[in-house]
Structure 1
């Protein structure tokens, strides 16, 4: 197998200061050499073009009298002196050019060193940043130059990374807690069951039922976690009729609604959006399922699809958006919880959520799906008579 040999640029191994010095030195050298040749040739040509005649003007007559005289006949050794003068001029020009280039190079080195000092300080500060101190911003120089703008951009990136790391830590801690709870329940019950010498059939059935319930809970939690981690890789190029998608969701949830004695209503209206059918199906499914779960017996869940010119809240650029509004007649959501319900593992009523088999990830998954499609999910209205949650998607 032949090895590929790639030509590497040796300048890339040098520091930015040395690269600037070498580049400016090269430019100075080319400039000085060109100036040397231009000035030297001009001076030498001027010396060589000295006149070989003397003109005498008659004061009484306007006609000049010209004498063609060779200067060498008048001044012995003049040509040698001219040649020496030209050689001396060239020598001094070369020495002066070399000195100018040398002084310019040294000056460039130290000036670039001073100019790059803020960048060197920034590099040292960046090297000190670790995962534990992402919240500490770098000091922005009060110069309004490229270094200042670079530092400001870096601080913004640090802030985004800090938010992402914090969310990741919270998500990992919450996921670990959710996974540990059913495992702890099973372990405790199995330890108690193991102490029994002659367990009855009812006790066997009870322990098997408990294990089955906790296993289902773990399985559901792991499926939701996998769904959340795989959202970004799903292709989003389907043309989707939201009315047909909602109709399929309502059909799939009809049995759960019947058990809860909740009426499902889909109002007339449709919009076509581009995205992933599977993901948007999951988003609408979770919204409707939540509305059924936290509804009163005999209540209603209404799904309305409409098209708006702008987001429900203030938005900078007017555009067409599709709204899937899910309205229930349930228990409502307190104002302080209306934004938090879309956070992973958040529950308004933890005991009730656990009793219903919830993992606190349903609305968080809806929020992530909406974000991946360039939209959002939010609570439009909520009271003791029920809530309205809207899935907003760009058309």
Structure 2
């Protein structure tokens, strides 16, 4: 089955982080544009708002004497009083009663002379010019002992712009830069690790799905800890596994049942043919029946080896099983004038964790295949260690293009002597997979070798 090639562009983490970076960049751009607009607009609203806030702040700190007249501000404002003395041309305040009489002021009356003599209660936010300099001012009422006083605060436009552009805005720009860096890196790192934690269940589900094979179709993906957005996909996958397992079981049962049901009719046909008078037709029919019987037996064996519950694992001596398989096929090898050599560690057992009968079938099929392809007068050599077994012949072998097909069902080599069903090597592969072993075919010069590798991680 071809797999779709994945790239980092298809990563969910990459797309989310890309969206995060784009959102951060757009936010920073909007903040910078807004700040730049405020700096360059010289908005009356901004200046008026600042003056009004400062006026109400001063009004809240106004102090009175025993007679109820304003005398100054509390100590917390003492460190700022010097600004009214030092910058008397640019900034000032005064306190008026309800008749607009001055009770307290930081400057002389000339500072406020351009202001119309209107009732203080009617002067909330106002603007005037003093010696051609625009001034922004505001009034804040103060209640004390039943009397109402009005604090007026004024500051020049050029001083406000100096403070904003020379001090406030540079600090604001540095703040924007610092905020941007924190947002990008600190929150970016948090987003990265959060994504890793959030996607961890998906990686675990993916790893679990990768381990499912025809021998573990009973397994299901765990949907308990996966994100709820992905849970329907996991449940759908589990449902598909249930249907697949059911179909696989039905197929295996049909294969085993069909093979078993065919054995009896073939035995009856063979018995009837053997009762016929000897002639060429009789021998040909017996050969056909023998071929069909072998196919049925191998189909039944293939169905059995495909089911994990048919195996009983124990510690067996692979050298002993190899000797038994060689002895079982000795008559076949003698008839083909092919020698069988079994070589392994001397006087030492080679224990493997395996199903003994299945291991015997695997070795028997490999040896039988080698004998069928080995030229007369040559050898079939079996070599084994505690972790590896090799069966090699010195026959014509197979071409490089045919090598990937060698374990395919019903595929047969062109140089074998009998008319086998083409299932022997498929059965070997099924047995190897059930044990967690690796069985591969390799071209030799000349001949072909089958290498069975034992791993520590599987049943064997």
Superposition TM-score, scaled by structure 2 size = 0.40
Indicate the structure with greater helix content. Answer: 1
Indicate the structure with greater strand content. Answer: 2
The structure with the largest alpha-carbon Rg is: 2
Superposition TM-score, scaled by structure 1 size = 0.47
